[in-house]
Structures are given as structure tokens and as C-alpha cells.
Chain A
């Protein structure tokens, strides 16, 4: 398992064409200028150890472009600030909402006028789980993923 994570950190999942030797009869003028291919994984996931993927259910956050069925990257290592989109443990489920501190009191705001903000009082079971750092979705479903 450790070796697998090690790969995530040190070997980007690039579409690496450089690894293949393509026999060519001439030296390419581009040879000295080649860069690594763009790596989506490390673009979305800065801290692999503390980052987790979760699935969005519902449209409470559609106002800022997080839709039902999206995948979100949640980083536990980041300390949530007012205005961050967060995942929180609220009662016995996870919610994704915008975290706000108004006069020192915590609130969970939806991004959809059809939903009401949630006031966090001391009797409510609440804990910030992590901060949403990225979200993504596929427009053409491919295979099982």
C-alpha cells in the first residue's frame, strides 16, 4: 500500500509518450524543449495523504457549479475559513455547504435559493470534515467510472 501511494506522489499519471521509443530517422528540433505532459491528478490533488474523493448528491450547491453526481476533492489538511466550501459531519450524514462565520457563529449556507441556511448551535452534532478544493464531472460517461 505504501508503494502505491508513493507512486501517486512521485509519478504523475501522465500520458507519457516520452517513455516509448519511436524509431525516427532524424533528430527532432523539439528534443531539447520537451516538457512533461499535463497531469490532471496532481492539478486537482495537492496533498494526496489528506485528500479524499466524495460524491455529491442533490443540488444544494448548484449556484457555484457543484452539481448532483459531481466528484469533489476534499482536503482535511486545510483549516476551513469563512467562504470555503466544506464537507461537514452534520448529525449522522455528510453535507457539502459553504462555511460562514457571522459574528463568530458558524453557519452552513447552501448555494441554491430553494434551501435554507443551517445555524450550528451547541446541541447539534457538527464537525468540519474537510475543505472542498476541486470538483469535476465527465460529460461523456466512459466505461465503469
Chain B
């Protein structure tokens, strides 16, 4: 049996742990750049705030209804996520973190009749240890566990177990196809067009049909999973990323080539750190920049360049030089750029990289320097030490006007008790 545990309204819940003023109040958390709503408390949902609504559209309504608004604080959410995941690891020898607030657990070691109680214990423990309320769905496959989790939100106690055929059929009949794990918008439209409206109807389709119409083997596996036959196991180790992107929209439009170059260098700094965390090196760098789709007085303008290095590297300096050299070729005057980003690809393990005739792999000195850079930045805060190319003022940085304190990672931002 598999369990899917996820935090309820995770970002809002994280904020509430450290701020009693938000307890049981309507509140939302905004995306990067205070762009749109990405988390809502139950009280805010009850007031009609939709997921993903742009902030500028909802602003007046939020103010009128006295709904608290916070900018996202990923430093805090990441730390709380780690605490939740470590707590969950106590309950199963096999856990797979699926996203910042979701985790699969293998519960085959728990007798069926004890699953509901065990699920309850898991939620209570996470709540006590971290303050984060969770829901848990349990079923014979990961897909069914995810479906059960969806229903756990509507259940008192937040636990839903699919342990018999009757429950499985009932729950699938109640589940719209668009809510099935693995069915995106396009497939949902296609299925509804074919008259398949709920998960039970989909589960009754023949496997060959699924192989033909639902994307091959993956589709067939989905049918098996909906019918209680496990095809997907709990993945233990996250494989190193095959491509790493670092992108961000600007706080205000950028029209200056130096600011653009600073931004590109900053993104590469982050991307290279992620690369080193994976123990990988990359050979291909790409950079892109574009203006807004929605400008009435100027056409959409996007530039994208790719450059392949001779030898794969994880050295921030080499990677940054490669992309910043591309910027003058792409940058156009009088364009109000709203976003830029870098992408690292052709990634392989640092152990297996090959040197070329003309260039060496990252020298031990380079690796030591990068290692020291990472250490200092980890201890004293991101970007304590950075490349000059990143710039110092960073006026283009995104807006984050209502960010809460880093309650768990900064000494001068701890929660106060009286």
C-alpha cells in the first residue's frame, strides 16, 4: 500500500506556524515578483479567492475583505519542507519526496486494518513536530493514493484509505478525469470529448485502447494503477537533473545591457550551484530574454542563444563568461525586457567528463575554489561571495514587498516571545 502525504495550503501553513496573527484568518501567498496567488488559507478560499489569480486583479478585493497578503518566502518553505520530510521518514523505510510539500510513503509493512490509524498518527505527528497540517491518502497504487489524498481534504481527520474494491469504485466515480494524477488539461479535454467524465469510466477502458490513445505505455500503466495494480514504485534516489534552468521575471522592465548582463550572471550563479549540488558538469549553456506578450505598442520579441563549451564544467566563472558573451549579440535597444534566464544542458556526472584536445576539465584548483565558494555562501548566506559580473545594486531584482522573516535561518529574524 502507498500513502501520499501533503501539506494543507502549504505556504500559508508555513507562515502561520510563526505568526499567531494569521491563525484562522483569510490569507494568501503571492508568487515570485508578487505576481499571482499561489496559496490560500481555507478562510480565503471561502471568500472566493481563486488559485492563480493575478495580484493586480485581486488587490482591491483582498484589501476590502481584509485578507492578509504575503510575498513568497521560499527560504522558510524549504526549511519547513525538510522538517516535514524528515518527520515522514520515521514512518516508512521507503519515502519519495515528490514536491516541496508532497511525499509518497511505502506502507506495505502496515496491516490493512491499521492503515487508517497509522495515517492519522502520521498527520498528528507532522502537525505536532512542525505545525504543518497534512492530509493523507492511502491506496494500493500511487495513482490511487493520490486520488485518496484529494478526498482526504474533504474528510474530517484528513485521512482517506482505499482498502477494498467498493471504496475504489466509489472514489473513482466521484473523481473527474482532470483530477487524475497524470492527466493534464489536454488529455482531460480529449477524454471528456470521448464521453469519459470520471476516473471509473477511464479505469474500465481496455489496456490496448489506453496504449493507443493515452500516450503508450504510460497510459496503459495509468489504467493498471487506477485498477489497483501497482506499476510505479517509490523512487528512492532522485536522479541528477538533466537540464537546469534559472529564470526570473524582472521587478521592472530592463532596457539597459549592463543590467541584463548582471541578471544573466546572477541566474548562472544559481544554476551552477544547483549543478554542483548534483555532482554534475554541463557542456551546453543557453540564455534567453524577452519582452511582454501583452504590450500593445510593441511586438513580442524573444531572443535565444545556445553555446557549447569544449569541455563540460561546473565552474561558475567559465559558465558565466560563456553566457555573458552571448548577451551583446542578442540584446536589442528600445526593447522593454521583462524576463531572462539561463539553461544548462548536456549534463553528465563530474566523474565521467572527458577532456578535449584544447581544454582541460575543471582543475582541482577550480573545484576547490568552487567548493569554498559554496561553503562560504552556505554558512553566511546566499551570495555573500559572488562574481563581480553579477553586479552589486541589482535594481532589476524582483519585488517581494511583503515577505515574512526567515524565522528558521536568520539569527536576527527569529520569532519573538513575550
Residues of A whose CB lies within 8 Å of any CB of B are 1-5, 47, 49-50, 52-58, 60, 71-72, 76-77, 87, 89-96, 125, 129, 144-145
Contact = CB atoms under 8 A, between A and B. Distances in A.
Nearest to A125: B23
B20 A91 contact: yes
Contact of B415 (A5, A54, A144, A145): A54
A82 B97 CA distance: 38
A92 B21 CA distance: 5
B408 interface: yes
Interface of B: 20-21, 23, 78-79, 81-83, 85-87, 97, 128-131, 277, 378, 407-408, 411-412, 414-418
A144 B412 contact: yes
A4 B86 CA distance: 12
A41 to B, nearest CB: 14
Contacts of A90: 20
A92 B23 CA distance: 8
Contact of B418 (A50, A58, A77, A144): A58
Contact of A60 (B20, B21, B79, B418): B418
Nearest to A74: B417
Contact of A49 (B97, B129, B407, B418): B129
Contacts of A94: 20, 415-418
B23 A89 contact: yes
Nearest to B22: A92
Contacts of A145: 411-412
A54 B405 CA distance: 12
Nearest to B75: A1
A55 B416 contact: yes
Contacts of B97: 2
22 contacts: A1-B81, A1-B82, A2-B82, A3-B277, A4-B82, A5-B82, A47-B129, A50-B83, A54-B415, A54-B416, A55-B415, A60-B418, A76-B128, A77-B128, A91-B20, A92-B21, A93-B21, A95-B417, A95-B418, A96-B418, A129-B131, A145-B412
A94 B20 CA distance: 7
Contacts of B128: 50, 76-77
* Most A C-beta atoms less than 10 A away, residue of B21, B81, B83, B412: B83
Given A4-B378, A92-B23, A57 B416 contact: yes
Give chain A's interface secondary structure class. mixed
A85 to B, nearest CB: 10
B129 A77 contact: yes
A1 B78 CA distance: 6
A98 to B, nearest CB: 13
Contacts of B78: 1
Nearest to A50: B129
Contacts of A87: 417
Given A77-B128, A96-B418, 19 more contacts: A1-B79, A1-B82, A2-B82, A2-B85, A4-B378, A50-B83, A54-B415, A55-B414, A55-B415, A55-B417, A56-B416, A76-B130, A77-B129, A92-B23, A93-B418, A94-B416, A95-B417, A96-B417, A145-B412
Given A4-B82, A89-B23, A52 B408 contact: yes
A93 to B, nearest CB: 6
A129 B378 CA distance: 29
A55 to B, nearest CB: 4
Contacts of B129: 47, 49-50, 76-77
Contacts of A125: 23
Nearest to B125: A77
A56 B417 contact: yes
Contacts of B417: 54-57, 72, 87, 94-96
Contacts of A71: 414
A5 B97 CA distance: 15
A111 to B, nearest CB: 13
B104 to A, nearest CB: 15
B20 A49 contact: no
A38 to B, nearest CB: 20
Contact of A93 (B20, B82, B86): B20
> Which 9 A-B pairs have CB atoms at the shortest separation, nearest pair first?
A50-B129, A96-B417, A1-B82, A1-B78, A94-B417, A55-B414, A89-B20, A92-B21, A145-B411
Contacts of B131: 76, 129
Given A54-B416, A55-B416, A92 B83 contact: no
A53 B416 CA distance: 10
B399 to A, nearest CB: 24
A31 B129 CA distance: 41
Contacts of A1: 78-79, 81-82
Nearest to A79: B128
Nearest to A129: B131
A75 to B, nearest CB: 9
* Most A C-beta atoms less than 10 A away, residue of B23, B277, B407, B416: B416
